[in-house]
Structure 1
């Protein structure tokens, strides 16, 4: 069975129940999640050997985060315990024309204060096929960026497939370095690059012409081909460049698709109407988890791999919480055209 390692921060997510605003809340619902941990949970849910690496404080809240991972069959054997606190983010879930809001409280977290040399990457990458990281980790701090680069170099030296979700987060890049200064040295090690138009623009000053996700559901896949080509030219090690296509009609109604460029051919997935979104957090992570699974399962069928990833992440929008808990059978059923949502008896 393929073994996949993901590296990043798991956080405590606190959100008002339902669609309440922060100012209305007198209680918060608790979820544990984060970009790379969400991918690990997705893959473990598909029956794959998923290992998550991070640095978590040695206290009761850190224990809760570990328990959340273990309850989903994620390998935590290489998690390092240390730091002052677990990172937190507060989520206000939007509806209709009111967008969601996120407030981060991640300074001085265990992951933000990780240092190179704390992780034994040779041990972590024993019998590993795939390594995944996202642009969120190097946005936390210089030391987190350095630790991520350390991991990429060791994985590359071992011939492990490396993927990244560029995941630009404006609110996180606040330690004095810009993405343009940090990200290129990391992405040059990657075989698989996932990113949308904002990621490409903010990290590398690459952007599609005439793309505006605020203009409803009109998303032209061909408009992203120049971006995919530009990313592959900038990072020649990359074998595939993938972009998710989200059209935002409202906070509750999005369209969802994706494209993949393999250097010769552009693949386009069907577009799904996500008309009653339960939770859009983790949509990109569920896409990445679906993509890693499908590229491992059908390595010679990029079209099927892309369609699986898009269908998987479409289903995630119906699931509360950060992680995708849809099964492989449910994803395959949607891929084959059954989007009826009928009761299974």
Structure 2
């Protein structure tokens, strides 16, 4: 496969109490690394797509540990810059049954939060690449990352890359002086492909799926067609819009599906019952990676693309940590209808 994907954003140290303990119970934490864009890069690497991950890491042992963690999955790291005082951290309390998960961020003044224009040579980072992916998390962190992200999307378009974005609205992060509604429209205008969910479209652009009831578990594809149509109408450069459809029956049991809209036709994937969630963090990133893989592999077969994206991200819910480590073959097996979970001998 000669398609190369570049992803840009912050990767953090993730600390979570073992099992399903509360923060107040914890006497130790499980340690992994993760972040929206790195999650996409790792997943794509597992599908056999050449990937390059771009970020800024501190020049200390934690920064080096994070770098080595990413490298082990076959992701390119040659354009990661080193500097800044610290690695961002997030704490995750895993929800179960009717108790939802909780996230506490500790990422102020992180290496990526203090990045400045000109620190990354985007022309070199994009050399030989065909695709650039970013998320709405990056410009939410601080003014510096927002400026660097704008540099990146402009250069990517100048160099002819396809640009994708996961809108990824995070209310806890937009604290630096501007809102998502002020910053995101300028960035999204450079995008060819965008994904999101009901909260992203509503909180960032004021576009709501009127008939959806997420907390009641009602997320029907038809209710989101209007959202996709309005996004395409607002951003004429968007060629594809995908929306994940998560019905939250409880923290342990979700329904999972997705739609893909190409400006004319709405494609819907099968609905999966994810009835025993191991780790839902990174599910949307796994969907994004599956979507990118499908678009560059299956061409105009958009039904197959959305089916693959949903199958791959469904399987992510069975894997601990941010990264989706399933193979292309495993996703295709589920996509073909084998949801038995039988032992492979």
1:251 and 2:251 are equivalent in the alignment: yes
Partner residue in 1 for 2:111: 110
Q: Secondary structure at the match of 2:194?
A: strand
Partner residue in 1 for 2:312: 312
1:284 and 2:307 are equivalent in the alignment: no
Shift, 1:9, TM fit = 0.4
Partner residue in 1 for 2:147: 146
Q: Secondary structure at the match of 2:278?
A: coil
Shift, 1:64, TM fit = 0.6
Partner residue in 1 for 2:220: 220
Shift, 1:178, TM fit = 0.4
1:60-116 CA distance string (max 9 Å, x none): 000010000100011000000011100000000000000000000000000001011
Question: What is the TM-score when the length of structure 1 is the normalising length?
Answer: 0.99
1:158 and 2:159 are equivalent in the alignment: yes
- Pick which of 204-213 and 126-135 moved more: 204-213
Partner residue in 2 for 1:169: 170
Partner residue in 1 for 2:203: 202
Q: Secondary structure at the match of 1:111?
A: coil
Write the distance in 2 (CA, Å) between the matches of 1:341 and 1:224: 31
Partner residue in 1 for 2:335: 335
Write the distance in 2 (CA, Å) between the matches of 1:81 and 1:195: 31
1:161-193 CA distance string (max 9 Å, x none): 000000000000001110011000000000001
Partner residue in 2 for 1:263: 263
Partner residue in 1 for 2:96: 95
Write the distance in 2 (CA, Å) between the matches of 1:149 and 1:87: 21
1:107-163 CA distance string (max 9 Å, x none): 000000101110000000101110000000000001100000000000001110000
Shift, 1:277, TM fit = 0.3
Partner residue in 1 for 2:77: 76
1:219-272 CA distance string (max 9 Å, x none): 211110111000001100000011000000000000000011101100000000
1:14 and 2:15 are equivalent in the alignment: yes
Write the distance in 2 (CA, Å) between the matches of 1:150 and 1:41: 24
Shift, 1:210, TM fit = 2.4
Q: Secondary structure at the match of 1:292?
A: helix
1:60 and 2:61 are equivalent in the alignment: yes
Write the distance in 1 (CA, Å) between the matches of 2:311 and 2:12: 26
Q: Secondary structure at the match of 1:198?
A: helix
Write the distance in 1 (CA, Å) between the matches of 2:202 and 2:160: 29
Q: Which residues in structure 2 correspond to 1:36-55 (within 5 Å)?
A: 36-55=37-56
Q: Secondary structure at the match of 2:323?
A: coil
Q: Secondary structure at the match of 1:52?
A: strand
Q: Secondary structure at the match of 1:5?
A: strand
Q: Secondary structure at the match of 1:210?
A: coil
Partner residue in 1 for 2:300: 300
Shift, 1:328, TM fit = 0.7
Q: Secondary structure at the match of 1:259?
A: strand
Q: Secondary structure at the match of 1:300?
A: coil
Structure 1 unmatched ranges of 5 or more: none
Write out the 4+ residue segments of structure 1 that deviate beyond 2 Å after TM superposition. Answer: none
Structure 2 unmatched ranges of 5 or more: none
The RMSD of aligned alpha carbons is 0.6
